[in-house]
Amino acid sequence: MIKQIYNPITFFKLFLVFIIICNPLSVIFSKNIGDLTRQDHIEINISMMGKVGEQHYYLPNKLIFKTGKLYKLTIKNLSDSKHYFQSMRFSKSIFTRKIQLNKNKNKIAEVKGIINEIEVYPNNEIEWWFIPIKTGIFEDLHCYIKDSKTNKKHSEMGMNGVIVIE
């Protein structure tokens, strides 16, 4: 005769309690957790500003993001020069879903994959859709385009910024 290690009725009762408690919680917690494609995006705007021969800058020059959230960063070039949005450390700390190119508020193209830098021409904008995956403070946001009058890099004329991922 085999000795029972556990009582089947007790086991069944514990199993029912587990199902009753955990099943409603799984419905509550599973809505958008783990499926990053279904979350609502957070919109952030940054403008590239300046004038040839004078000052160039990002407005704002500090951006703050949180890991695990979907962002749509709209980068607008409101100046008379082309500009880079480049931060190697930031680009290695996010998952890029897409870069969307717009003209007159119409989508004209999408770029997918790893993005290291973005060049935006005067009076144009792009949307960078991404999810931050690594925390850090990145002080390497710079524009390395040379000013056509001064021959200085835009970063030497003030176009620098900080990106924080919490």
Confirm whether 131 is domain-assigned.
Answer: yes
Q: Which of 63, 75, 53 is nearest to 126 (CA)?
A: 75
- The pLDDT mean for the chain works out to 86
Confirm whether 27 is domain-assigned.
Answer: no
Confirm whether 109 is domain-assigned.
Answer: yes
Q: What 3-state DSSP class applies to 137? A: strand
Distance, CA of 28 to CA of 35 (rounded, Å): 14
Confirm whether 126 is domain-assigned.
Answer: yes
Confirm whether 58 is domain-assigned.
Answer: yes
Does position 124 have pLDDT exceeding 70, yes or no?
yes
pLDDT tens by residue, 73-87: 999 999 999 999 999
pTM: 0.77
pLDDT tens by residue, 50-79: 999 999 999 999 999 999 999 999 999 999
Domain that holds residue 115: 42-165
Distance, CA of 36 to CA of 68 (rounded, Å): 8
Does position 4 have pLDDT exceeding 60, yes or no?
no
Dihedral sign (CA 22, 28, 33, 37): positive
Confirm whether 6 is domain-assigned.
Answer: no
Does position 13 have pLDDT exceeding 90, yes or no?
no
Domain at 96, CATH number: 2.60.40.420
> What is the β-pairing status of strands 160-165 and 62-65?
parallel
pLDDT tens by residue, 95-119: 999 999 987 878 889 998 888 899 9
Higher pLDDT, 44 or 6: 44
Residue-wise DSSP of 93-111: TEEEEEEEEEETTEEEEEE
